[in-house]
Amino acid sequence: MITERYLLVALLMFAGIRWAGATESTLSYYDLPVLSQIIPAKTQYYTIAPSVRLSKQFYVFQVTSNSGESMEVTGILDLLKTCQEISIIEDFRTTPQGNEIWKGAKGTVSDIGDGAKQIVAHPGDSIGGTVSRTGRSMGRIFTKPFRKEEKSSTGEELSKAAGGFAQEQARAAAYDLQLDAYSKNPLVRDTLASIGRKRWLGKRLVSTMMRVAPGAPLLSKIAAGAGKSGTGKDEMELLMRNFSAPEVSRSLLLMMARTLNAGEDSEQLEPMRKFVDNPNFTPRQKAYATLSLQQFSGLRNFHEAVTSLAAVKRVEDAEVLSHQLRFLLMYHNGIQPLSVLSISNGRIAGVRSDGLSVLIFPYDYIADEEPVRSELAAFYAQGSGIELWLIGSVTDRFRSLAQSYGVSSIHENLLSNPVFHGDK
């Protein structure tokens, strides 16, 4: 208890918070200045509560839409995605088409303040049951069957897009509105499901909303690239619009076969085959991981990296690895090329030609505690030093001990760097 309190005090002091003015395990959103510049605490679309809780290496936020739905969000990256999703939906609701959709969906999200809020929590948390999990898998263009996807470590079938029986139409609406058809956000799923049902019945809606991206300028810019990585992103978005999850997996396998100049039944593709079958990744995560892997295919340890992805057994680990791959590709394209992929302890890093390991932690803050120590030690044992990047900040105590973990440089507030806005 004393150790935990010490770490908390250190973190709060680092954030510039006077202990007397803060309750235990909380801080103020306004004491995170870099974050509040990227994601404004209040816009015409949403409001972020001032009080922020601490949970392991993440902040926990409370976000309320302008229409009154309140939800809990864990982690800066999920906050970024959720605020942009809310902005798009709130903007859409102001249109005649959106108002009609909202009337149809309103009953399914009326209890969002209770059971549904966990749908927007970190992937390691349980997912509520307020979103329809019905659906279908289509096999229109491929003759080789895919077995039914197993459930993820959370018990969910992550391949189920919003829309139920109208998933195909819901995916098209997600593409039009720049939303994620596989999002955990119940507002997104219910809105897309309502649009999908109306389109399935023959009503052509949201055609005038094509490529909408409202929100604060920097938030909109970062969110536009937050799920994307490098060239080929348009192809991936179209793939997820046009095809069901089994078809997406099949297409990704064929893409990698072409990249590696390998036969479809080649033993060389076995790790990739296991990866696209892994139930702990969403189809979107698989698509953008494949985009990264295509560009990393010439690096040493490439096959070991794919094998590591295929072996993921927890949804939260799939989330971390997906972010690490995405940001590593942005680093590779925008800062310095990588020559080796380094895999250790269920995490992935890149190695530069000078031997320095580039390790990107998609965490909100880092203190001198597990599991951070183990993750750093594993990579330190493999290379000549670590260049550490993270979404948020480190505590003063961690900074003073960083060299003992092999960390030669620390880059905080990764999203403030234009390289990681997904432009390239």
Q: Where a domain ends, among 200, 223, 246?
A: 223
Higher pLDDT pick, 134 / 380: 380
Q: pLDDT-derived band of residue 375, with 50, 70 and 90 as boundaries?
A: confident
Taking residues 197-206, report their average pLDDT: 69
This prediction's pTM: 0.81
Q: Is residue 409 part of a domain?
A: yes
The residue segments making up the domain with residue 102 are 76-223
Q: Is residue 244 part of a domain?
A: yes
The pLDDT value given to residue 226: 56
Q: Is residue 379 part of a domain?
A: yes
Q: Is residue 7 part of a domain?
A: no
Q: pLDDT-derived band of residue 11, with 50, 70 and 90 as boundaries?
A: very low
Q: Which two tokens stand for residue 50?
A: 């001032």
Q: Quick check: 367 pLDDT over 70? A: yes
In this structure, the answer to whether residues 244 and 389 fall within a common structural domain is yes
The pLDDT value given to residue 262: 93
Q: Quick check: 143 pLDDT over 50? A: no
In this structure, the answer to whether residues 94 and 141 fall within a common structural domain is yes
Q: Is residue 20 part of a domain?
A: no
What is d(CA 402, CA 424) in angstroms, rounded to the nearest whole number? 31
Higher pLDDT pick, 121 / 95: 95
Q: Quick check: 136 pLDDT over 50? A: no
Mean pLDDT lowest for which of 50-64, 92-106, 356-370, 378-392? Answer: 92-106
pLDDT, tens digit, 9 for 90 and up, residues 84-108: 999 999 988 887 666 666 555 544 4
Q: Quick check: 3 pLDDT over 60? A: no
The pLDDT value given to residue 5: 37
In this structure, the answer to whether residues 215 and 253 fall within a common structural domain is no
What is d(CA 244, CA 242) in angstroms, rounded to the nearest whole number? 7
The pLDDT value given to residue 322: 95
Q: Where a domain ends, among 223, 255, 284?
A: 223
| 194 phi, psi to nearest 5 deg | -65, -45
In this structure, the answer to whether residues 247 and 219 fall within a common structural domain is no
What is d(CA 57, CA 367) in angstroms, rounded to the nearest whole number? 8
| Structural domain count of the chain | 2
Q: Which two tokens stand for residue 244?
A: 């069901």
CA distances in angstroms from 77 to 222, 279, 361, listed in the order given:
10, 22, 12
In this structure, the answer to whether residues 413 and 330 fall within a common structural domain is yes
In this structure, the answer to whether residues 246 and 391 fall within a common structural domain is yes
Q: By percentage, how much of the chain surpasses pLDDT 90?
A: 50
Higher pLDDT pick, 202 / 275: 275
Taking residues 183-197, report their average pLDDT: 90
Q: Where a domain ends, among 169, 190, 223?
A: 223
In this structure, the answer to whether residues 209 and 239 fall within a common structural domain is no
Q: pLDDT-derived band of residue 128, with 50, 70 and 90 as boundaries?
A: very low
Q: Is residue 40 part of a domain?
A: no
Q: pLDDT-derived band of residue 246, with 50, 70 and 90 as boundaries?
A: very high
| 58 phi, psi to nearest 5 deg | -130, 155
Mean pLDDT lowest for which of 144-158, 259-273, 321-335? Answer: 144-158
In this structure, the answer to whether residues 255 and 184 fall within a common structural domain is no
Q: pLDDT-derived band of residue 32, with 50, 70 and 90 as boundaries?
A: confident
Mean pLDDT lowest for which of 1-5, 181-185, 332-336, 384-388? Answer: 1-5
In this structure, the answer to whether residues 414 and 282 fall within a common structural domain is yes
Q: Is residue 16 part of a domain?
A: no
In this structure, the answer to whether residues 202 and 255 fall within a common structural domain is no
In this structure, the answer to whether residues 210 and 256 fall within a common structural domain is no
Which residue, 290, 277, 201, 287, is CA-closest to 241? 287
Q: Is residue 347 part of a domain?
A: yes
In this structure, the answer to whether residues 261 and 127 fall within a common structural domain is no
